[in-house]
Structure 1
């Protein structure tokens, strides 16, 4: 997926503004500990000594979301592996997604990497360097049960309202199919749009839909329609030319896939492994 720039203030972000001594995976809002830049294991430069600072955009379950005062999820767990290899702690900043596409927070030295369920695209490669792909993604159509919609063709035939998250590949796909989807700033807003009848169906990343449908109320109200294969792959991004960190990320991903850790985390955060990998 490619996600949106969002201006919504997350509740935990407000707490972070106090700049209390945030540690571990507690979310901060750009507060500096005053430690300054440093080096991680292997001479990998980091923007804050003893930390691997990750920019993300919340919420986007199951990849990153707040739970019990901490940010957790599939992306978070994978970056934790990188941090462990580098002998530092992961620190997470909740930032506008638009900056991920431009590399702004990486270039300004606020973050070491960006992890946000972000699709690797040629356009984005102009601004940032990507890790090896860590997730094969696809889009899905989710509709209200009362709409009777299961395909994009149904949306057109019924003259129904289609929604998507702004700035995402889901939105781009809908537009490529001739739709003018209602744009929502976050995945939460997309779901709320369905709940409140602002739209009848939405196109969004399939893993996100899987997560929503684990909730009984959502499963009762909505129906999963067609899967839309777009050939998307997610990657973590670093500042252009930061080859040392990119190599460390690539190594952590490959090691996790080789030793079974990746599959374990996939089952924990995403669900059953794709066919042929179980």
Structure 2
């Protein structure tokens, strides 16, 4: 089923009885019934822009978008008394801030690393997940590190920290750019590229099913994910941070983490 260029929207979680919104202090253009809470771009909904697939953080399963990030945003939606709606959109519009500035979405949970460059365009929640870059290749390929890719093709995802890392460190390789993770991994599997680079969480998940492939190297990039919001949307940012803190202190975060990764986090 074609995902782009047509946008897809999924409404997750049945609507709560209470719809909390109104005139927040963020100066946004969205509207909601009621008062005392953050303004949202669509009444009764927390609109989440993300880029599919990015399993296990967000991906489509039997017509529904599910994943670790989606469950966390469900907690925010529940706190606001609204339902979550997911929009699948190219990642560049998220990290550049364009999707927020145009009123397409309120929040983005997209396995997105907090960077100084992105902070110029969007605001981030407190960190909620630790990540690093990793390299995936076919077993028996002889590729064990990025230095083994001289004269070979390395796949990377557009506008990501993996793409930046590849261009900075794989000087002898031809870096091939793909719009999303799904296209990148298809290229790795088909042999269109010799290896792929992306965040370790999604690559380790992929090789569980694609047993002819392995994660051959992790790079200590020390990344942390944050949820993105429009710059200056402080009312919603406060709610998101409060929800993340509550989830960690209550143990709910650990339950969600174990659901998607099979183990409890070593730290959060």
Q: Report the TM-score range of the alignment, normalised by the length of the smaller protein.
A: 0.7 to 0.9
In the other structure, the counterpart of 2:95 is: 101
1:210 aligns with 2:224: no
Cα distance, 1:68 vs structure 2: 1.5
Task: Please report how far the alpha carbon of residue 25 of structure 1 lies from its aligned counterpart in structure 2 after TM superposition.
Answer: 5.3
Task: Tell me the equivalent position of 2:129.
Answer: 135
Query: What corresponds to 2:216 in structure 1?
Result: 225
**1:239 matched to which residue of 2?**
230
Give the match for residue 157 of structure 2: 165
Provide the rounded CA distance (Å) in 1 between the counterparts of 2:84 and 2:59. 15
C-alpha distance in structure 1 between counterparts of 2:33 and 2:133, whole Å: 39
Residues 50-129 of structure 1 mapped to structure 2, 5 A cutoff: 50-129=44-123
Matched residue, 1:199: 193
Going from structure 1 to structure 2, the CA distance change for 1:188 and 1:248 (only over 3 Å counts) comes to same
1:90-113 deviation digits (Å, cap 9, x = unpaired): 111112211112212211222111
Spell out the pairing of 1:172-183 with structure 2 (5 A cutoff). 172-177=164-169, 178=171, 179-183=173-177
Contact preservation (8 Å) 2:51, 2:180: no
Tell me by how many angstroms 1:193 deviates.
Answer: 0.9
**CA shift for structure 1 position 47:** 1.4
Counterpart pick for 1:10 among 3, 10, 15: 3
**Cα separation, 2, equivalents of 1:173 and 1:214:** 24
CA drift of 1:238 comes to 1.1
The match for 1:249 is 240
Aligned pair count reads: 251
Aligned residue runs from structure 1 range 253-272, under 5 A: 253-272=244-263
Alpha-carbon contact 1:139-1:227 (below 8 Å) kept: yes
Which of 20, 45, 49 is residue 43 of structure 2 equivalent to?
Answer: 49
Compared CA separation, residues 236 and 271, structure 1 to 2 (3 A): same
Deviating more after overlay: 261-270 vs 40-49: 40-49
Quick check: 1:25–1:70 contact (8 Å CA) kept in 2?
no
Long gaps (5+) in structure 1: 1-7, 17-21, 27-35
Q: Tell me, in whole angstroms, the C-alpha distance in 2 between the residues paired with 1:40 and 1:111.
A: 20
Match of 2:188, SS state, is helix
Unpaired stretches in structure 2, ≥5 consecutive residues? 15-29
User: Cα deviations across residues 124-144 of structure 1 (Å, max 9, x unaligned)?
Assistant: 111111111111111111111
**Cα gap change, 1:105 to 1:147, in 2 (>3 Å):** same
Q: CA RMSD in A?
A: 2.4
What secondary structure, in the 3-state scheme, does the structure 2 residue paired with 1:43 have?
Answer: coil
